[in-house]
Amino acid sequence: MDQDATCCPGLAAAPLDDERATELARVFKAMGDPVRLRLLSMIASREGGEVCVCEMTPAFDLSQPTISHHLKLLRQAGLIDCERRGTWVYYWAVPGALDTLAGFLTTKQTDLAARRTTGATRQTAGPTAQTAGATP
């Protein structure tokens, strides 16, 4: 469900509205922690795409509940998903999530076109165009 929020316009296309910024911030915040970033990388770099929790936990100097908590945040951000098989739980990267996010950050030509459409974004009074006068 988070994928829909990160799909279309691009960050450099037009100023984000508050609602969309909030959704996106949740995803970036999930990646704003070294432990979660390592977990995500550990999962995304797997070919089969499946990593057992019992494999990730001993890679950190953290307790097992802490790792479980971080995995939960990554899952709530829509970056990974999991399934229980017998005793063990396996995590994998949600297929298009990272690429969608990457496309959102890329300042591609599509964004430039969209930017021109949006045009002037001056919402308040102030020195917008005639700023050169202040720097002789």
Task: Give the residues lining the site for a copy of itself (CB under 8 A).
Answer: 11-18, 21-22, 24-26, 28-38, 40-42, 44-47, 50, 52, 54-55, 58-59, 85-88, 90, 93, 98-99, 101-107, 111, 115, 118, 121-124, 126-128, 131, 134-135
In sequence order, the 6+-apart residues with CB closer than 8 A to the CB of 84 are 90
Q: Nearest 5°: CA angle at 133, between 132 and 136?
A: 90
Contact at 8 Å (CB) between 44 and 93? yes
The count of residues interacting with DNA (CB under 7 A) is 31
d(CA 59, CA 63): 11
For position 135 contacting DNA by CB under 7 A, the verdict is yes
Pick the stretch among 38-46, 70-78, 100-108, 112-120 that binds DNA (CB under 7 A). Answer: 70-78
Query: Measured from the CB atom, is 13 or 56 closer to DNA?
Result: 56
d(CA 84, CA 114): 44
DSSP 24: H
Query: Measured from the CB atom, is 47 or 65 closer to a copy of itself?
Result: 47
Contact at 8 Å (CB) between 11 and 105? yes
For position 82 contacting DNA by CB under 7 A, the verdict is yes
Residues that bind DNA (CB under 7 A): 29, 32-33, 35-36, 52-54, 57, 61-73, 82, 84, 86-89, 126, 134-135
